[in-house]
Structures are given as structure tokens and as C-alpha cells.
Amino acid sequence: MNDRLGRFLNRVDSVLYRVESVLNMISGLIVFALMFLGVVQIVLRTVLRAPIFGYIDIVEIAMVGFAVLAISYVQRVGGHVRMELFVSKLRGRTHWLAETVSTALGLFIVGVLIPYSYFHFERAFNIGDSTIDIEIVTWPAKLAVPMALSVLFIRLLVQFGGYIRLTINPSLDPVAVPLLKDVEEIANEEIRQAAEDA
């Protein structure tokens, strides 16, 4: 069967996955750096009575990175919090239709958030907004939000195409969409991975 849409979605998914993986890695490195900085802060404050000046400002700016940069990656792997109690009970075309509708709703919400978050960045850039203590400029962190949301918007578009494809023909193999796993499948997968690592 000629499945040009499936092949196109697969190619876009592969390219987008590389971008998402890089953003996810950056997000992870930010979390690691903040954990390290937190340990240093505790040691300096308790042992030397000399806390890091501007620690709160640094954490405030860095939190944006790990809060939004990995959001599209999490959407891709289906690791986000969602209402699976209802959707997991559906089968076939009804299941894919429900996923299509929820993805369309997600596209609408993210589509509304992108311009507003960009205006927030633009305002911070124009007025030279900075943190209170050490006056770190805030616009790079605020720019990360519309950028990450734009990647998420593209991910949702790809998934929307994948769900429409499956709604039209449920017998096709799923492409560029996260697959729901029940508790038993997750447990078996974790057991298999533990056995491979041992």
C-alpha cells in the first residue's frame, strides 16, 4: 500500500527527534549543574558561612531551562501526565479519534501560548529586565520558552498527522505517535531491561 504520509511523518519524526534529544540533554545538564551548585551552596553556607551570592537568581534563571526545554521530548515518548484511564479503554478508530481531538486541543493551547511568551521575552529584552540580586539579564531564559513551545508545536503537528492517518485507516502501523502501555507491559519492559543490565 502506498503510504506516503507515513513515510513523510517518519522522516520528520526522525529529524525532530534529534532536535528534541539535544534539548533534553541540555535540560539534563542544567539539572545536574543545579544539583552540584546546590551542594556547593550548602557546604559554603554551613561550613564557611559564605553562601553563593545570587544563588536564588541563578536558580531562578536556570529553572526555565529544565522546565521547558525537554517538554517536546517528553511529549514524543508519551511520558507526560495524561488522562489514560479513559483513552486506554478505547480501541481502533475511536481510540485514534480521541487522540486526534486531544492533540488538536494541545495544538490550540500551545499555539496561543507561543506569541504571548514571545511578547514576554520581547518586553524583557526591550526594557533590559534583570534579576534582583546579581542582575542577570532575563531575556535569554524568557526566549527559551517560545523556542521550546515552538518545538512542541511541531511535535504536536507531527503527532496530529499520525493520529489522523490512523483514524482514517486503523490497520496501519503507528508512526510518529506515542503508544499507550499498560502497567503489565511497563513492568515486563523494566524486568527485561534489568536482566540485560545485570
| Residue linked to cell 499555539 | 111
Give CA angle at 12 (6, 13), nearest 5°.
Answer: 85
> Which residue shows C-alpha cell 499520525?
162
pLDDT per residue, tens digit, the chain (198 aa), is: 457 888 999 999 999 999 999 999 999 999 999 999 999 999 999 999 999 999 999 999 999 888 899 999 988 888 766 666 676 677 888 888 988 998 999 999 999 999 999 999 999 999 999 988 899 999 999 999 999 999 999 999 999 999 999 999 988 888 888 876 655 666 677 677 777 776
CB atoms within 10 A of CB 2: 6
Whole-prediction pTM: 0.85
Q: Report DSSP state, residue 137.
A: B
Q: Residue 149 corresponds to which amino acid?
A: L
d(C-alpha 52, C-alpha 43), whole Å: 10
Cβ atoms of 59 and 94 closer than 8 Å = no
- Of 112, 134, 148, 154, nearest to 13 (Cα)? 154
Contact present, 162 and 176 (Cβ < 8 Å): yes
Break the chain into its structural domains and give their ranges: 4-197
